[in-house]
Amino acid sequence: MVFRIAFIAIQNLIFIPSYLFTTHVVLYPIYLCDSRFYWKIENNLYNFLLYVVSSWSWCAGIVVHECGENWSLKNVDSELASKKGDCRSNNNSPVNSIKEAVAEDDQETEVKLITNDENILFIPNHQTTSDVPLMFAMFSNYWERIILWVMDAQFKYTNFGVVSWTHGDFFIKPKDFKAGDLIEHCSKHSYKNCYILFPEGGFRIKKQASSNRFAEKNGLAKLKYTTWPRYGAFKDLLDRKLNITRIIDCTIMYSDFDKPLGVFDIMKGTKKSEIYFHYKNYYVANEQLDEEWLRRVWLNKEELMRSFYENKEQFLGQNETFNVVNLSYLKIIFINLFFTLLALGYVLFFRYCLLDVYL
C-alpha cells in the first residue's frame, strides 16, 4: 500500500508539470496560430491524464458497470441500446412525493445512440470523493467526448485543479454564482461537446441536512439516497448557444451505501468494489426542462437507488450491464512512459541550456 501511494504521488509530481509545461509553453505558438488545433492536442494530453487516474481504481479491482440505457455509439450490439430505464417517468407535471413520480406514465421509447457531433449534458448524483475519478474511468472509453466539468471552486486548489483550469473547466461558487456566468464561460469553449454538472452542489452526506430543510420549507419529500438539486447552473447549460440536444441522467450507486468508496480507498487500493452507473436518456426537444422537471428526475433517481439498495439481485436482474469499464495494460504503460520521457526531455533540455549559458 505504501509503495502504491508513493507511486501515485510520483506520477502527480512528474505528469502534471509535464502536461502544464507542454500546454502553456511548448504548444502556445500553436494556440496563437490555430486555437482549435491546439485544443485537440490539449484534449488528448488531458485524456492521457484521465487514463492514468482511471488506472488507479481499475488496477485495484474496482469495477465500474454501465447499465440502463446505452447512450454511446460504442456497444451498439447491446440489446439494451433501445431498452427503457427502470422506475422512470417523462411526465413534466409537478410532484411532491416519490410515489407520485414513479406512478406516472412509463411508456417505452426508442433510444437513439449519440453521434460524435451531438452536445450532451451529464447530470450525476454526488455521493463521495471517488465519483469524479470513477467517471474519469467511465469516460476513458469515450475519447470522442471533449469534456467540460462544472465543479466546486475549492477543487481548483487541488493537485488536479490546475489541470482542470487549463482544460477550460468551470469552477463554481454557489453563493457568488449569477445567471449567465456559465453561459459566458462555455461560449468561450464552443468546441466542447460534453458538459458534466452535479446539480446537488456537493456530497450527499454534507448536503443531507440542508436538503431536508429545503424539503420541509417547500413541501417536498425528504430524500435519503440523494439531495434536492439546484437549478441555476442547470438552467444556464440549457441556453441555446450551447446547443445541448440530450441530457444523460447518470445515477452512481456504490456497493455499500453507508460507507461508499472514497478517493483515499482508491489510492490505497485495498478495497475492491463493484460500482454501477445507471443511465437514462432525455431529449431536450421533447422535454419541458424547468425546475419541476429536474426535481422529478431526482425523485426517480431516489427511487432507483432505493430499489438497488433494498434488493440488488432483483435490480440487477431488471437492469442488465451493457458495458464493464475495462482499460488496457499496454495503454497504461505507454502513457506512463510518454509522460516520463516527456519530463526527462524537458529536464535534459534545460540542463544543457543552462550549461551553455554558464560555461
- Please state, in angstroms and rounded to a whole number, the distance separating the CA atoms of residues 189 and 192: 6
- Separation CA 288–CA 69 (nearest Å): 21
Residue 292 has pLDDT above 70, yes or no: yes
Q: What is the pLDDT of residues 49-89, one digit of tens each?
A: 999 999 999 999 999 999 998 887 555 444 433 344 443 33
Each residue of 87-96: pLDDT tens digit?
333 444 455 5
Q: What is the pLDDT of residues 202-232, one digit of tens each?
A: 899 899 999 999 999 999 999 999 999 999 8
pLDDT of residue 1: 81
Domain ranges across the chain: 63-327
CA angle 174, 175, 179 (to 5 degrees): 70
Contact 342, 18 (CB under 8 A): yes
Quote the percentage of the chain above a pLDDT of 70. Answer: 86
Residues with Cβ < 8 Å from 161, sequence gap 6 or more?
155, 171
The DSSP secondary-structure symbol of 251 reads E
Q: Which three three-digit cell numbers place residue 58?
A: 481499475
The pLDDT assigned to 318 comes to: 86
What is the rounded CA–CA span in Å between residue 310 and residue 275? 16
Could you tell me if residue 116 is left (phi over 0), alpha (psi between -120 and 50 degrees) or otherwise beta? Answer: alpha
> Tens digits of per-residue pLDDT, 99-140?
455 444 344 445 566 666 789 999 999 999 999 999 999 998
CB 268 within 8 A of CB 129: no
